[in-house]
Every structure is written in C-alpha cells, then in structure tokens.
Amino acid sequence: MTPGARPDGASALCVVDLRTWILDIPLIRPHKFATAEMDTQAVLLVRLEVEDGTVGWGEGVVPGGPWWGGESIEGMEVLVNRYLAPQVIGHDVLGVEALALRLAKVAGGAPFARAGVEMAAWDAAGRALGVPVHQLLGGRHRDRLPVTWAMGAEPADVLVAEAQHLLDTGRHGSFKLKMGAMPAEQDVLRVAKVAEAIGDRARISVDLNGSWDEHAARRWLPVLAEAGVTLVEQPLPAAHTGGLASLRDNSSLAIMADESVWTASDAIRIAQDRSADAFALKIAKSGGIRSVRQVAAVAEAAGIGCYGGTTIETSLGTAASAHVFSSTASLDWGTELFGPLILADDITNEPAVYRDGNLLMQAGPGFGVTIDEDKVAKYGRV
C-alpha cells in the first residue's frame, strides 16, 4: 500500500505540507500559578495543507512554560518539524485516528506537541468534508459552554474587586482561584476572604497545582469548605492519588484531578481507586482530541464528573476545546475556556464570542476559525 492510500481502496486526501510558527501573545494582566508567573503566552501554531488545497490549523500550548508538564514551546517546535511532520505528510487526513496513533508511536511522552498536530488534522478533515468537527465526533449536546473565570494568586482585595465587577456586569458566575504560591495559612486566609465576600453569589473553586501535602490538605480543606469553597483541584502532587482518595473520603469538598489524569489509563486507575469526583479535561495534556475523549469516556462509565480545562489557548485552541466539550455528554462542572479573554489580542478572524458567562460556538467547517496572517507576522518569534 502506498503512503496515503486507504485500505478500502478509496482515494485518499493526503497531507502535502506542514508548517509551524511560534507566536508570543501578551496577556491583559500577569497570571500567577503556584510556581510560575506569565505575562505573555507562547503558542506553537501548526498549519497543515492537504492535496486538494484545504488548510487546517492547530495550536500547541503549555500553560506559561515547562513547569506544568515538562514540554516547552521551543522543544515542541523541534519535535513537530523533525519527528511528527514526517508521520503526517503523505497520509490521509481523513484517517485522524490512525494519524494520532502514528504520532503517539514516535513521541508518546510529548502530548502537548502531538496535540497541536492532531488538532490541525481534525480541522483539515472537517474543512475537507465541509462539516464542523463536533459532527465528526458524533454531534454536540450544547451550543454554548459555561465559563469559569480563573483568577491569579493576587491579594484578596484585588480578587474581590475583580470578581464583583465580573458578577455585576453579568460576565461570569463562577470563579477558580489559583493557590500554592505562598505559605498555606496565609493562602487560605486570602481565599477564605474572597469566598466569604462573594461565595453566596458565585461558585468558588481553588487549584493548588499539586502544591500541598496530605497534612496541609487535612488541616486546611475544612477551612476552605467552611468559607464557601465547593471544589478543590489537584491539592496533592500528581502521583499521590491514594492521598486524593483519602481526602475525598473525609472532605465535603469535591476533589478534581488535573495533573493526576492525562490519559485514559490514568482515568481508569483513579476511577478504580475512587480518588476524584471530577476530571479536568484538556486536549493538550492528553495528546489530542482522540485521547481526551477516551478520558471523558472513562469518566462517563465511572460516574465521574467532567470539567473543560484550559492550557490558556487562543480563539483557535478554545474553539477546538469547545467542539470536544460540547460533544462530551456530561460536563457537570462547566469549563474554564477563558484563554481569549486573558490574551490582549486575537490571532483569528473569528474571535471567541462570550455572552452572559458562556462561550458561544462558531458556525462553519472544521473548528469554524481561521488565522489572521497579519497577526502571525506581528507576534511571530524571529
């Protein structure tokens, strides 16, 4: 069989070109995590062209550097161009499942890089067939997605003012606060102040990014619950799923796994150990749309809730996430697809549209989003 030929003998739609750019896009304000702070977001933009002239776009992103998962934007560029592109060029773009497996075979440990390439293939497949990607995934359950606003690790008064403004203007009804950048006691008092000020008007969740140990979690989670926080994301390091199970047994807070759940195999283990009430789904950490849907399938089978997470994507990656999360049957915890709201500029011709705390889905084939090439020139790294 020649490369690109299909086993059923049908004519293939082969990929003929793959290109990448690194873009550095400023944020509207610095965003602080437990161990990193970012004031620009770097994006690896992937452009894939098919033999009939169809173009698909994808993006690889990590949240503000390699601290989260070990991959960097610069490393991803090398992986994509040197190792992943040869797996894609000459192959049928309509066979995205097979393409995803080929990518996993050459760079299994680099899900963020693989996700950018696979995303471009889904977009090209949808565009070549003239259908939105959610239809390739079996169709969507909803055309708008609730969006939690993620707050940085700033002092309480700054966060209360920010939250009150967003509530008063009807822009968000739920908030996620980053924790872990300061000693636990000080951090908990800061968050408790915010929860007490706005907890009756909004859902408050917190994300520790794995920065506590079990003792700190036993000591402080009840204080957060008492103040009105309802969900805690990844209080313990990724590998400590046994500890998550014991916190789950002993806390009224919902426990969400993020760094602990990358793949369907992780999801099965967590489901068996009863370590989480909810999974944060992210296309990037799972290595693409095929794999994140497997995580969602395990969640559905195990009765675990799903949450549409972000690695701070542009309107392109946000649209891709919206296609996946809208076609996920149960999305009990909503999403945090706020990327385009925290980026100071948009690189697409169809910027993400938000209304009353929801992300509205774009119409059109693929992800419904095209790239503004002037913005690529403006933000492209030279």
Minimum distance from residue 176 beta carbon to Mn ion (Å): 8
Rg for the chain, CA atoms, rounded = 20
Of 16-24, 109-117, 128-136, 227-235, the segment contacting Mn ion by CB under 5 A is: 227-235
Minimum distance from residue 69 beta carbon to Mn ion (Å): 11
Please say which residue, 50 or 232, places its beta carbon nearer to Mn ion: 232
Q: In this structure, what token pair is assigned to residue 109?
A: 């440990």
Q: In this structure, what token pair is assigned to residue 64?
A: 């503000």
Q: In this structure, what token pair is assigned to residue 133?
A: 């990607």
Nearest to 254, CA basis, from 244, 263, 239, 264:
244
Minimum distance from residue 258 beta carbon to Mn ion (Å): 4
> According to CB under 5 A, which residues from 97 to 126 bind Mn ion?
none
CA 210, chain centre distance (Å) = 17
Site for Mn ion contains 336 (CB under 5 A): no
Minimum distance from residue 43 beta carbon to Mn ion (Å): 19
Give Dmax (Cα) for the chain. 65
Give the active site residues.
178, 336
Site for Mn ion contains 207 (CB under 5 A): yes
Please say which residue, 123 or 207, places its beta carbon nearer to Mn ion: 207
Reading across the β-sheet that carries 37-50, which strands appear in turn? 15-32, 37-50, 55-60
User: Please, where are the H alpha helices in the chain?
Assistant: 73-78, 85-88, 96-107, 111-129, 133-136, 156-168, 184-198, 214-227, 241-250, 264-273, 283-286, 289-302, 315-326, 339-342, 373-379
> According to CB under 5 A, which residues from 236 to 275 bind Mn ion?
258
Q: In this structure, what token pair is assigned to residue 202?
A: 């909004």
Minimum distance from residue 74 beta carbon to Mn ion (Å): 23
Q: In this structure, what token pair is assigned to residue 302?
A: 């195990």
Q: List 27's β-bridge partners, or say none.
A: 343
Number of residues engaging Mn ion in binding (CB under 5 A): 3
Please say which residue, 154 or 258, places its beta carbon nearer to Mn ion: 258
Give the integer Cα–Cα distance in Å for 225 and 218. Answer: 12
Residue nearest to Mn ion (CB): 258
Please say which residue, 163 or 278, places its beta carbon nearer to Mn ion: 278
Give 110's Cβ-side CA count (13 Å radius).
23
Please say which residue, 21 or 279, places its beta carbon nearer to Mn ion: 279
Give the integer Cα–Cα distance in Å for 32 and 38. Answer: 6
For the chain, counts of helices (H) and of strands (E) = 15, 13
Please say which residue, 23 or 281, places its beta carbon nearer to Mn ion: 281
Amino acid at residue number 113: A
Minimum distance from residue 209 beta carbon to Mn ion (Å): 6
Minimum distance from residue 36 beta carbon to Mn ion (Å): 13
Of 143-151, 188-196, 226-234, 289-297, the segment contacting Mn ion by CB under 5 A is: 226-234
Is there a contact between 327 and 139 (Cβ–Cβ < 8 Å)?
A: yes
Please say which residue, 131 or 341, places its beta carbon nearer to Mn ion: 341
Please say which residue, 91 or 282, places its beta carbon nearer to Mn ion: 282
DSSP state of 80: I
Of 22-30, 229-237, 268-276, 364-372, the segment contacting Mn ion by CB under 5 A is: 229-237
Phi, psi at residue 256, to the nearest 5°? Answer: -110, 135
Amino acid at residue number 140: R
Which is it for strands 358-360 and 353-355: parallel, antiparallel or unpaired? Answer: antiparallel
Minimum distance from residue 234 beta carbon to Mn ion (Å): 6
Sites of contact with Mn ion (CB under 5 A):
207, 233, 258
